[in-house]
Structure 1
Amino acid sequence: MSTNKLLLAVFFFCFGFVSFAQSAHIKGVILDKDNQIIDHVNVSYNGTNTQSNKNGFYEINVPSNQKIVLVFSHISLKKATVSFTLQPNEEYEFNLVMNDKDEQIGEVVITVNNKKRVQGITIIEPALIRKIPGANAGVENILKSLPGVNSNNELSTQYAVRGGNYDENLVYVNEIEVYRPFLIRSGQQEGLSFTNTDLVQNVDFSAGGFQAKFGDKLSSVLDITYRKPTKFGAVAEASFLGTSLAVDAVSKNKKWSGITGVRYRNNSLLVNSQETQTNYTPTFVDLQTNINFNPSDKWEFSFLGNVSQNDYQYQPLTRQTKFGTIDEPKALLIYYEGQEKDKYTTVFGAVKSTYTASKNSTYKLITSAYHTQEKEYFDILAQYRLGEVDSNFGSQTFGNVTFSRGIGSEINHARNDLDALIINTELKGIHNLKKNQLEWGVKFTRESIRDRVIEWEVIDSAGFSINPPKILPKNDQPYVSYTGPLVPYTNVRATNFVDINRFSGYAQWSRKGYIGNNEIWFNAGVRSQNWTVSGENIVSTTQFTFSPRGQISLKPDWRMDMFFRLSGGMYHQPPTFRELRDADGVVHSDVKAQQSIHIVLSNDYSFKMWNRPFKMVSEIYYKSLTDVNPYTLDNVRIRYAAANNAVAYAQGFDYRLNGEFVPGTESWFSFGYLKTEENIDNKGYISRPTDQRLKFALLFQDYMPNIPSLKLYLNLVYNTGLPGGSPSYSDPYLYQNRLRDYRRADVGFSKVLIDNQNPTTKRWLRSFKELAIGFEIFNLFDNQNAITNTWVRDVYTKNQYAIPNYMTTRVFNIKVNARF
């Protein structure tokens, strides 16, 4: 059976499970006009009733596929009457604000979550993001547990989606595109993700086949919305890895609201667990604020600002890495001198105004500016011994290097500076016309980059300087005397002043209809972009792309709650500065946009198991890529060839089952299969650097039944190994070995000391609304996971040895969370 047929069979098998439940579930929290919880609210329909508890929470089962009227009544407040028409097994969250003046009457037909379900968007709850343990806890930590999303670097927030690389993912905060620094080459230099988890309200993620309203990238969209405060509050966290504080504020007239967060992080706890012994003094700090102003019912203004600084100082001391086999164990010993000093300072600001012209038309104007100043300075001397390890258990030198196969040194030097300013202006419109919705947008982007690269590397093996392979005559030392020029093994020197002007736009149409009793949704749209690259000593080049996209979602008139979705189209990724610059630092203005024809077939099935809600999502996808810009991947550093000299493809199957495996909590299991290969210069297909074939992940929550305030959070990830890369200047077709499989388990335990169900009687603790203490174990089973290979040459055999660079070992962490 062919691979495609096998995938199709697995796909239809996975969603073949049947459920016959015909009810829906409504739950929520009831508040008063001051946003205080209300208990003992009677919630009823047709003689069935329930009451809100002391936390204002209620839940009730109702019939599906029919209009039902839910009545909310309280002895001291006015009655509220709401009509619902829900789908079988639908979980609908309805939060009500009751008042003492007017009765409320309303109707609910389709939920926001259902709209996102139609579009194939994964919704991630912010509370879950804050709880799940990880070396880099946050939104990206959760994404890495989803199918199709891969990463083997716990120190990095970067992720690859369905065969794409880190530069192929769109990230929006409040509909504003955000950026990351350009020069970062190692995950331990990243520090903080742009997204501040304490400020988040909604997190939506699409792994492919997304609509035309999302920008020009090939792989995925992460769409984040920060919350709008309704009253004063604060949340704080402190741990061995850093601290954070977020404050909500609201004006008396409720027209102004704002939320501000500050974070500090220090990765020393994690980095010190690696094999390289270092003096490491990093400082990662940022300040974010989101301010909202509502002068009237028609106008709304908001400001999003961020200032961050990564001050990275790194002084390696020693390293010992053992590798090889049981029969022939080997080791690499390295002694370092020198240090690295990097500094990344970024400032970001955006203003968004929303005008509601009528109930059917809304317009948005968004302007933003991103400025980054980056320095990357290092001088590091590494003196190494590559030798054989004594494996005789009875020997006095057991475990030590007894014979050296290679002795040498390596000097790395860099003085790299980059200054980039990116300015955006965008106008968007949304129009609802009966059953149709039209959306459009136009955008202008100006990118100004000032870049200086001075970087060289000298390699000495057993006293003989090694020239790069492309330098002739060939160096055959120590067997033949060398009389050629002495040059660095690598030497990059370039200064670039580049300006890129981009004009982009989109238009899309959405409609809901019926085929018989079957519901169907249509979406069709198109994106285009025109960009011009210019600068000093650069030939000005202008190019244009046109990207049609579409989605069809079908909900059959079945007893089970099931969606089928077909989406795809043509996706382009116009090159950014990073993609225009080759390995020698030269900017090529004529690099074309990479192009992908993408098709996704999905099934979304909601059902009840153990009388609790579950969802199963299965997707088959295929991408055909042309005008591919090949790249190498070293940690999180991507080096492009700056040439469209390859074609590629990616195909796979993703599966996720999530639901309440434990009552009241959400957990999930993910599985992904991926195969992605590229053909460079018609030399044949080889694995791409992100070809991670199999992925299993488990995200699990639990609590002790007799002590519900004691909770457990588990995050398990297994990925098969990535391609291990190749030495500098070598042909990647000759080096197709893979890194070892990535296996990681992070576990967290939390004890809630104070919350609504566990109030305190101590006066000095009454200011806390919530207080919890947690204990985390990162890399629970102490697995040795490799991120890249270091290539070391044996002077005797002239072999190149791939020495794995291992990530963090087992690490313990304690944290305290408080809400005021």
Structure 2
Amino acid sequence: MLRNYLLLFAILLGGATTNAQPLVKISGLVTDQLGHSLQQVTVTILGQSQSTITDEHGLYNIYSKTKAFTLKYTLLGYNPVLINVNEEKAGRITRHVVLSINPAELEQVTITNKQNQLSNSTIINIADAAALPAASGNFEAILKTLPGVSPNNELSAQYSVRGGNFDENLLYVNDIEINRPILVRNAQQEGLSFVNSDLLSSAKFSAGGFEARYGDRLSSVLDVKYERPDSSSAVLNAGLLGLSFGSKIVNPKSYLLAGIRYKNNTGLLGSQDNKGVYTPNFTDVQMVYGYEFSSRLSLSLLGSFNSGTFKLIPENRETVFGASTARMRLNIDYEGEEKDNYQTAGGAVTLKFIPKPNYVMKWINSFFQSDEKEDIDLTGWYLFDTGNAGVQNRVIGAYINYAANRLSSRAFSSELKADQTFQNHTFSWGLRFETKNYSDNLNEYSLIDSAGYLQDAETHNFYQDNRVFVRNKLDIRYYTAYVQDSYRLSGNTDLQLGVRGSYNDLSEQFLLSPRLLLAYRPANNKKIFRFTAGLYQQAPDYRSIREFDGTLNLQQKAQRSYNASAGLDYAFDALGTRLKFSSELYFKYHDRLIPYLMDNVRVKYLAREEAKGYTYGADFNIGGEFVKDLLSYFRLSLMKSAQDIINDSKGYLKRPADQRVNFSAYFQDRLLNSPAYKVHLSLLYGSRLPAGSPLTQSYSDSFHIPAYKRVDIGFSKDFLDDFSEKKAGFLEKYFSSFTAYVEVFNLLNINNTVSYLWLKDLDNVQYAVPNYLTGRRLNFKLVIKFKKSKG
């Protein structure tokens, strides 16, 4: 089968080409004004796809496709240098360059490097996100290949980290904390996540043990940057699942980043058991504008609008499941439709002030507004065959799902942040005020009749799975502050101490969260040992205080977790490349948790209950460039997470995200005889997850969702790749990269279960009918990068 896909890929990418080879080789040395060699200097040929970095001796080699070109040398903390070259003939030339220090920027680089050294985070290779074959098309798909993250749904941008749920994760864009919608209940209704890959300049992810500068959540932080680019550029991404266009424009005093995305995953949803007319349309528009008034004062504006409309007119469903000796079959005929609409708009204004070279201040003001609607009016008539060993037992019934829900949420925040260096110290502090208000109108119910016809609610054959009719309005104000000091104890040892303090007028608690990180790097510079310890407290919010019936528990207290971890990063040479091995052991004790159930991707809290629990595990990761410029990595995560709901007399039970084993691999290679063709292979395995029937009145882990197993593969060719011996002349004229992808999602066509439809027969026996995720699908897309203008 793989051979057939390779053949298809070759046919799709074949075409007329003309000869084109690099014409000029440029070599040289980059130093500072004192003559010291500079490593990690980025050397770029403007308007071409070529770039490289200087080695530990400050040396570099780069190739130009033309005889007339411009070289650009950049390094954070130094002023960029541009060199125009116009050679009369092809050959080799030498260009030595001296970079001058930019004092204000250099201090910021010192602060940034210190924070990275003392950050329990993984730096994400942005190029991986573009090449990763992922059905959702969202940037968060790359997170599911990282240590500590549990995968179980390829349609969703939501993710679970070390036993927590999605609400326990933080997202920052340009130091701005992002608020996300609430109502989404199924992954097929999800659209585009906030992060726009076309605008990204950097991203890092922490699965725990993060520093005090980040907010009050229990699990993780995703910190991404849309920063000033080196030069103007534009990229177009067009495929069967959607379209995106991103542009970066640079001027001497300002820059503009703008991106628009459109997604329609009808082709993916067509492989699910529910057959019908799917109309999923999702759009996202983002922009960042920056202006530099002077070397000490600059302004940045962030704007975002995200809209999603999901409409489904189901016709029928057929699901076959169970063991070969006891096959069960569910057939449903539908009447009615579902329509969901989500709109989120927001923006932020950031004023950056550098009163002196070693002092950086930011004043950030943000506002986000979400309006979410769910309209469901579905009736289903079902025939459920529970045949066992040749005996036919049929259940005939009907059910109704109805919802007319409206949720509006507003969030405004104002925050002041500062970083300052004092010899061996980097001192940071921040103050933040945030107000949130919610207006929620809930009107929903689910009715099931297993006797063959709908009856009154008083009869024993009929049960009401869910009946909610409430109107809630809530305002919450949060006040937070943090201080932290990153201190160099010696040439090999760094210590970071920080504390967060917060107060909210909902729980009326003053929360104090101390945090510590210790890093030791031996003299050989190949290892880093890290130890973290801290207290993490998550104040109650609207979602966690809302009970199943829509009522609010206004007496809920903050969730609290005591965390400790020990990790090792080790770089070594093997298999012809530099490899990096990372490992971390962690333990979390939760003395106050709000238990919850998972309904597909919907988190449903038992808002009036309280639990204690623990989570412990180990993450291992190894990766490197087994093939030049293509990063591959493999990770294994082991974990156990349990909780004991107070006064329920059941003792410790598994938490909903207790996925004991996770394995992932992202491997990239070039075809041996045709290195211009690349292969991108993603493998995900997550062991089974505990689940309980929503028809019971208490928390249970007596049932399980089977293990999640998925293989996605992609094949690509950049027609302007340096390995391409033949290149189309007209492509070189207008584009710096022209890449075609053929992707096969769910290569092995595995039926992964995301949740269950629960039914009862006349004898009150419960049946769990699996809701499957997507089957095998073929996708084609083009990623085109236009010629960069000089800047």
What is the TM-score with the length of structure 2 in the denominator?
0.87
**Equivalent residue runs for 1:86-101 within 5 Å:** 97-98=81-82
Q: 1:782 aligns with which of 742, 749, 761?
A: 749
Residue 327 (structure 1) shift: 1.6
Counterpart for residue 406 of structure 2: 417
Aligned: 1:119 with 2:95: no
Q: Which amino acid aligns with 2:424?
A: K
Report if aligned partners of 2:30, 2:99 keep a CA contact under 8 Å in 1: no
Q: Which amino acid aligns with 1:372?
A: S
- What residue number does 1:523 align with? 496
Partner of 2:16: none
- State the Cα distance separating 1:771 from its structure 2 match: 0.9
Q: CA deviation at 1:643?
A: 2.7
The count of aligned residue pairs is 734
Deviation at 1:182, TM superposition (A): 1.2
Pick from 439, 456, 466 the counterpart of residue 490 of structure 1.
466
Quick check: 2:615–2:639 contact (8 Å CA) kept in 1?
yes
The CA distance in 2 between the partners of 1:263 and 1:136, in whole Å, is: 13
Q: Secondary structure at the match of 1:144?
A: helix
Q: Answer yes or no: is the 8 Å Cα contact 1:70–1:81 preserved in 2.
A: no
* SS of alignment partner, residue 403 of structure 1: coil
| CA-CA distance at 1:231 after TM superposition | 3.3
Structure 2 equivalent of residue 800 of structure 1: 766
1:455 maps to a residue whose letter is E
**Distance in 1 between the 2:276 and 2:72 partners?**
64
The DSSP-based 3-state class of the residue aligned with 1:141 is helix
The residue that corresponds to 2:427 in the other structure is: 438
Change (3 A) 1:414 1:306: same
Change (3 A) 1:809 1:81: closer
**Aligned position for 2:6:** none
Q: Work out whether residues 72 and 79 of structure 1, in 8 Å CA contact, stay in contact via their aligned partners in 2.
A: no
Change (3 A) 1:71 1:724: closer
Question: Would the alpha carbon gap of residues 461 and 603 (structure 1) be closer, same or farther in structure 2, given more than 3 Å must change?
Answer: same
Distance 1:552 1:44 in 2: 34
How far 1:117 sits from its partner (Å)?
4.4
Among 717, 722, 726, the residue aligned to 1:751: 717
Once the two structures are superposed, the pairs formed by residues 87-236 of structure 1 within 5 Å of their partners are 97-98=81-82, 103-105=98-100, 115-236=115-236
Q: Deviations 1:662-720 (Å, cap 9, x if unpaired)? A: 23311100000010011012420111111101011000111124422211101100110
Amino acid at match of 2:467: N
Which of the numbers 685, 705, 716 marks the counterpart of 2:683? 716
The unaligned stretches of length 5 or more in structure 2 are 1-22, 85-95, 787-791
Aligned equivalents of 1:464, 1:490: Cα separation in 2: 19
| CA distance, structure 1, for counterparts of residue 340 and residue 70 of structure 2 | 61
| Residue 815 of structure 1, aligned match among 781, 785, 789 | 781
User: Which runs of structure 2 are paired with 1:573-722 in the superposition (5 Å)?
Assistant: 573-682=538-647, 683=649, 684-722=651-689
- AA paired with 2:434? T
Paired position in structure 2 for 1:571: 536
Which stretch shifts more, 68-77 or 676-685? 68-77
Deviation at 1:391, TM superposition (A): 7.8
Partner of 1:553: 519
SS at match of 1:732: coil
**Letter of the aligned partner of 2:749 in structure 1?**
D
Choose which of 376, 379, 382 in structure 1 pairs with 2:377: 379
Q: CA distance change for structure 1 residues 226 and 155 in 2, over 3 Å: closer, same or farther? A: same
Mapped to 2, the partners of 1:363 and 1:803 lie a distance apart of 55
Q: Is the 8 A contact 1:80 1:105 kept in 2?
A: no
Are residues 209 and 226 of structure 1, via their aligned partners in 2, closer, same or farther at CA, if it must alter by over 3 Å?
A: same
Contact 2:118 2:496 in 1 (8 A): no
**What is the CA–CA distance in structure 1 between the aligned matches of 2:691 and 2:551, rounded to whole Å?**
26
SS where residue 704 of structure 2 aligns?
Answer: coil
Distance 2:196 2:499 in 1: 32
Deviation per CA, 1:360-381, whole angstroms, max 9, x where unpaired? Answer: 1111000000001111111011
- 1:305 matched to 2:270? The reply is no
CA 1:461/1:440 → structure 2, altered by over 3 Å: closer, same or farther? same
Residue 337 of structure 1 is matched in structure 2 by 335
Identity across the alignment (%): 34
1:232-381 correspondence to structure 2 within 5 Å: 232-251=232-251, 254-381=252-379
The whole-number CA distance in structure 2 between the counterparts of 1:522 and 1:756 is 44
Q: Could you tell me which amino acid in structure 2 is paired with residue 647 of structure 1?
A: K
1:467 and 1:487 in contact (8 A); partners too: no
| CA distance 1:547–1:386, change in 2 (3 Å) | same
How many angstroms apart in 2 are the aligned matches of 1:38 and 1:717?
Answer: 43
Q: What secondary structure sits across from 1:707 in the alignment?
A: coil
Could you tell me which amino acid in structure 2 is paired with residue 128 of structure 1? D
Counterpart-to-counterpart distance in 2, 1:644 and 1:727: 16
Name the CA shift for 1:106/1:345 in 2 (closer, same or farther; >3 Å).
closer
* Cα distance change on mapping 1:309 and 1:528 into 2, 3 Å: same
In the alignment, is the contact (CA less than 8 A) between 1:43 and 1:72 conserved in 2?
Answer: no
Q: For the Cα contact (< 8 Å) 1:38–1:56, is it kept in 2?
A: no
Q: In the alignment, is residue 508 of structure 1 matched against residue 484 of structure 2?
A: yes
- Please give the per-residue CA displacement for 1:201-248, whole angstroms capped at 9, x wherever unaligned: 101000000000000000000000013234332100111101000111
SS at match of 1:766: helix
- Give, in whole Å, the separation in 2 of the partners of 1:296 and 1:139: 34
Q: Please say if residues 39 and 56 of structure 1, whose CA atoms lie closer than 8 Å, have aligned partners that are also in contact.
A: no
Instruction: Name the SS for the 2:489 alignment partner.
Output: strand
Deviation at 1:48? 12
Partner SS state of residue 438, structure 2: strand
Question: What is the SS of the residue equivalent to 2:395?
Answer: strand
Deviation digits for residues 36-91 of structure 1, max 9, x if unmatched? x99524228999999989766456654xxxxx677999999999999x9xxxxxxx
Distance change >3 Å, CA 244–CA 77, structure 1 → 2: closer
* CA apart distance, 1:755: 4.8
The change in CA–CA distance for 1:41 and 1:546 in structure 2 (over 3 A counts) is same
Task: State whether residues 772 and 816 of structure 1, in contact with CA within 8 Å, keep that contact through their aligned partners in structure 2.
Answer: yes
CA contact (8 A) 1:268 1:280 kept: yes
- What are structure 1's unaligned runs of at least 5 residues? 1-36, 63-67, 85-91, 393-401, 478-485, 534-540
Displacement of 1:512 after TM fit?
1.1
8 Å CA contact 2:111–2:419 kept in 1: the answer is no
Cα deviation for residue 288 of structure 1 reads 0.5
Q: Which residue of 1 aligns with 2:92?
A: none
1-side partners of 2:339 and 2:299: how far apart? Answer: 40
After superposition, the Cα gap between the structure-2 partners of 1:526 and 1:811, relative to the gap in structure 1 and judged at 3 Å, is: same
Give the Cα separation in 2 of the matches to 1:192 and 1:290: 18
Whether contact under 8 Å (1:151, 1:158) holds in the other structure is no
Q: Supply the distance in 2 between the matched residues of 1:704 and 1:634 (Cα, whole angstroms).
A: 43
1:403 to partner: Cα distance: 3.3
- Separation in 2 of the partners of 1:504 and 1:53? 43
How far residue 513 of structure 1 moved from its aligned partner, in angstroms, is 2.3
TM-score, with length taken from structure 1? 0.84
Task: Please give the secondary structure, in 2, of the residue aligned with 1:769.
Answer: strand
CA distance in 2, matches of 1:48, 1:776: 43
After superposition, the Cα gap between the structure-2 partners of 1:724 and 1:709, relative to the gap in structure 1 and judged at 3 Å, is: same
The amino acid that maps onto 1:418 is L
**Alpha-carbon distance in structure 2 between the residues aligned to 1:403 and 1:743:** 32
Matched-pair contact (CA < 8 Å) for 1:149–1:161:
yes
